[in-house]
Amino acid sequence: DAKTTQPTSMDCAEGRAANLPCNHSTISGNEYVYWYRQIHSQGPQYIIHGLKNNETNEMASLIITEDRKSSTLILPHATLRDTAVYYCIVRVSTIFFTGGGADGLTFGKGTHLIIQP
């Protein structure tokens, strides 16, 4: 799987939009971009994922650049409860999986997002 690069930490004011960048310059055409977050002492929480198009759900929006080399997760109105470590993950489509390996999620170190009151 391609590697991702994220800032170590970011601050955002409560009520503002939080924009979390992720660089995945070596991503291939058959790899999804997934975002998870982990609040202390809890398991990771799925946020959103996409392949080529921008995606939106009740939690967030995912903007993927046209060349797919980077993406941005947008939390439109950040609250204190959004303080967490956010992980950007690329995952190969199992349609192209050659098998015999590990189709698990590969987590990096993520971005520690701190929402300031």
Footprint of other proteins on this chain (CB under 8 A)? 32, 34, 41-46, 49, 51, 87, 91-95, 97, 101-109
Smallest gap from Cβ 93 to other proteins, in A, equals 5
CB atoms within 10 A of CB 10: 16
Length of the chain equals 117
Nearer to other proteins, 41 or 66 (CB): 41
Nearer to other proteins, 14 or 55 (CB): 55
Smallest gap from Cβ 72 to other proteins, in A, equals 19
Reading the block at residue 56, the tokens are 């939106």
Residues 14, 21: Cα–Cα separation, whole Å: 18
Residues 41, 60: Cα–Cα separation, whole Å: 22
Smallest gap from Cβ 43 to other proteins, in A, equals 3
